[in-house]
């Protein structure tokens, strides 16, 4: 059976800059397909060969254009190239642009670089039947033998596209609930499918430490496990009595980084300090202000215990930064810095003496002093510091990136001061919030953030003047996991809200014709999203249906 994909496709997500009907003859893809790519695009070509062979049963061959002696490829072919013209066009813009053309028997994907080619291939995948997204061909011949996917005919089409922002990300907290490595790999694949390019991995907090550190082995031997976890809402003060924990080996993290790099995703590691450190203090009480032995946190919320400000503690933090830099090639290292109580410092004679020595007028300024010291070590390792917007309360390192979570105000303030910003406001982009205030929804920290609200968010607030807008690098969603105990539940919280965010941070701005609530744009987006959910089903994503959770997904509020 021949499956014909008409053009232009109305369901490409995120929406490209332009899609138009092309000229020439259609493209027929069937049992044997060649990928023509130079060696510089070998990684992208091998990735495409692998996913096509898995999902279609086709025989796919990768060939170098030089092997054809300059002759045009014959037969079914997907041609990959980096185009000098696109590279010139991308100067002064965000990299990652591409042009996809379907005509005269070939699919040609040209990018302004390897990442642009990769994003063009993700669009190409959306032109194919949904079944080709599966891990194995679902078509069988007589006698149950695999027959491969039937021929696919693509009508002539031209897609021209480029990203709006350079930081297109998703955050995952693996401290409150440990998530298996297999889920991290799946999440990276899903981010790449939606043309997102950052996985922000929150590795440590009061309730668990997931990062091995050679010089401080007790961090995972003790800090990776807690005795029990809160259950129900935090205010109920109930516990499940079940130990929980885990950590990633160094090879696990190296595998994740390599897997992500192949898909043009950067893994940005976060270690929270000087607050949210109870798991570290349980392992090494000497790092605390009272030296009192603690257990790894079992309840949710903010703990009063913080790191002391002694030199040996700063050396400990430098060791952590060194491990992060050795494991993660990301140009960014996230130091957290949010929700840091100052009660212990106010009571500490050593902290008060430090204030006098450094000429600090308030206890709150001690956090800025701490951040400056640790940030200097990050900079010495050739990386940039990222911190939640609380770092604006102290001296901010010149090249630091401010992650604005308490609304957009911090991001506006940072951009006006000349700092780069990633928008992550909880009201729009905290995906641990419920979709709706509805007892049919699973238990959540609060609500509600429906898909249409996510889609209404613009990362560049009107308060940011034109000459400062380049400081807004982009945006990302956050998934804190106090109420997200499993990877299936994480997928539910992410999708389809992440689809809406992906379009807002990739596609062109909606423009002035759209109301502040984004309703006009969402009405055009929703039919494409409904179509896109079939792709998520083929990719085995536990997404939330647009009309509400299935009975199996629901759980009454308790």
CATH number at residue 208: 3.20.20.80
**Does the annotation count 276 as an active-site position?**
yes
Q: Are residues 30 and 128 in the same domain?
A: yes
Q: How confident is the model at residue 397 (pLDDT cuts 50, 70, 90)?
A: confident
Q: Are strands 3-5 and 98-103 parallel, antiparallel or unpaired?
A: unpaired
Asked if residue 207 and residue 115 are part of one domain, the reply reads: no
Alpha helices in 359-511 (DSSP H): 365-380, 409-416, 426-429, 451-455, 487-494, 497-506
Residues in the chain: 558
205 catalytic, yes or no? Answer: yes
Q: Which of 44, 161, 205, 389 is catalytic?
A: 205
Q: Is residue 549 part of a domain?
A: no
Query: Is the pLDDT reported for residue 394 higher than 90?
Result: no
CA distance 79 to 289: 62
Q: Which residue range is the domain that position 499 belongs to?
A: 167-297+319-338+369-538
Question: Does an H or E element contain 277, and which?
Answer: none
Q: Which two tokens stand for residue 525?
A: 């987006």
Which sign does the torsion angle of CA 305, 173, 431, 375 carry? Answer: positive
What is the residue-wise DSSP string for 487-522? HHHHHHHHTTHHHHHHHHHHSPP--TTS-TT-HHHH
Tell me the mean pLDDT in the region 486-514: 87
pLDDT of amino acid 10: 59
In a shared domain, residues 111 and 227? no
pLDDT at 511 over 60: no
| Residue 154 sits in the same domain as residue 187 | no
Cβ-Cβ contacts under 8 Å for 144 (sequence gap 6 or more): none
Q: Please list the alpha-helical segments (H only) found in 417-486.
A: 426-429, 451-455
Does residue 79 have a pLDDT over 50? yes
The stretches of 62-197 forming alpha helices (DSSP H) are: 84-89, 114-127, 181-193
CA distances from 12 to 189, 195, 284, 531 (A): 17, 12, 51, 9
Q: What is the pLDDT of residues 166-207, one digit of tens each?
A: 999 999 999 999 999 999 999 999 999 999 999 999 999 999
Q: Determine which one of 106, 177, 276, 334 is catalytic.
A: 276
Number of H helices, E strands in the chain: 17, 24
Given a contact cutoff of 8 angstroms between Cβ atoms, the answer to whether 171 and 495 are in contact is no
Number of domains in the chain: 2
Catalytic residue among 61, 240, 315, 339: 339
pLDDT tens readout for residues 8-65: 555 999 999 999 999 999 999 988 999 999 999 999 999 999 999 999 999 999 999 8
Is residue 49 in some structural domain? yes
Secondary structure element (H or E) that encloses residue 322, with its range:
helix 311-327
Q: What CATH number does residue 75 fall under?
A: 3.30.379.10
**C-beta neighbour count of 448 within 10 angstroms:** 13
What would the mean pLDDT of 54-83 be, rounded to a whole number?
81
Last residue of a domain, one of 127, 161, 195: 161
pLDDT, tens only, 328-361: 999 999 999 999 999 999 999 999 999 999 999 9
Query: Model pTM greater than 0.85?
Result: yes
- Which among 161, 194, 216 is the end of a domain? 161
Domain membership flag for residue 364: no
**Neighbouring C-alpha atoms within 13 Å toward the C-beta of 285:** 6
């Amino acid at each position: 059976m021949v499956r014909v994909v008409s053009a232009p496709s109305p369901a490409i997500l995120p929406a490209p800059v332009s899609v138009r009907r092309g000229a020439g003859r259609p493209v027929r893809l069937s049992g044997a397909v060649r990928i023509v790519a130079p060696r510089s695009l070998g990684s992208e070509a091998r990735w495409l060969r692998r996913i096509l062979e898995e999902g279609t049963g086709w025989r796919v061959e990768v060939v170098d254009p030089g092997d054809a002696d300059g002759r045009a490829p014959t037969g079914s072919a997907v041609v990959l190239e980096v185009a000098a013209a696109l590279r010139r066009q991308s100067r002064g813009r965000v990299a990652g642009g591409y042009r996809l053309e379907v005509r005269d028997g070939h699919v040609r994907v040209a990018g302004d670089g390897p990442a642009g080619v990769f994003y063009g291939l993700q669009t190409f995948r959306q032109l194919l039947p949904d079944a080709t997204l599966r891990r194995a061909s679902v078509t069988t011949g007589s006698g149950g033998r695999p027959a491969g996917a039937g021929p696919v005919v693509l009508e002539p089409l031209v897609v021209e596209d480029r990203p709006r922002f350079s930081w297109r990300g998703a955050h995952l907290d693996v401290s409150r609930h440990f998530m298996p490595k297999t889920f991290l790999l799946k999440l990276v694949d899903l981010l790449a499918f939606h043309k997102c390019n950052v996985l922000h991995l929150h590795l440590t907090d009061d309730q668990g430490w997931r990062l091995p550190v050679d010089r401080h082995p007790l961090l995972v031997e003790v800090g990776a496990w807690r005795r029990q976890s809160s259950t129900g809402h935090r205010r109920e003060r109930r516990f499940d009595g079940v130990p929980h924990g885990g950590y990633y080996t160094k090879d696990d993290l190296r595998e994740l980084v390599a897997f992500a790099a192949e898909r043009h995703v950067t893994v940005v590691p976060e270690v929270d300090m000087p607050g949210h450190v109870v798991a570290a203090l349980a392992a090494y009480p000497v790092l605390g202000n009272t030296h009192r032995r603690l257990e790894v946190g079992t309840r949710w919320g903010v703990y009063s215990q913080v790191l002391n400000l002694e030199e040996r503690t700063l050396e400990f933090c430098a060791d952590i930064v060194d491990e992060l830099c050795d494991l993660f090639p990301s140009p960014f290292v996230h130091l957290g810095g949010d929700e840091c109580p100052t009660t212990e410092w106010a009571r500490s004679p050593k902290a008060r003496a430090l204030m006098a020595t450094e000429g600090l007028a308030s206890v709150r300024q001690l956090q800025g002093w701490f951040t400056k010291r640790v940030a200097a070590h990050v900079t010495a390792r050739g990386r940039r510091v990222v911190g939640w917007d609380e770092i604006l309360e102290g001296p901010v390192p010149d090249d630091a990136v401010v992650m604005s979570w308490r609304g957009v105000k911090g991001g506006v303030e940072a951009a006006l001061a000349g700092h780069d910003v990633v928008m992550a406001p909880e009201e729009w982009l905290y995906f641990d919030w419920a979709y709706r205030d509805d007892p049919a929804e699973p238990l959540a920290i609060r609500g509600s953030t429906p898909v249409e609200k996510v889609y209404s968010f613009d990362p560049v607030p009107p308060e940011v003047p034109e000459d400062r807008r380049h400081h807004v690098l982009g945006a990302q969603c956050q998934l804190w996991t106090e109420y997200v105990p499993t990877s299936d539940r994480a997928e539910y919280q992410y999708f389809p809200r992440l689809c809406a965010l992906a379009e807002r941070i990739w596609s062109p701005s909606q423009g002035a014709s759209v109301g502040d609530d984004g309703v006009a744009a969402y009405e055009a987006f929703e039919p494409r999203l409904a179509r896109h959910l079939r792709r998520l089903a083929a990719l085995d994503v536990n997404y939330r249906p647009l009309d509400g959770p299935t009975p199996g997904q629901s759980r009454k509020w308790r």
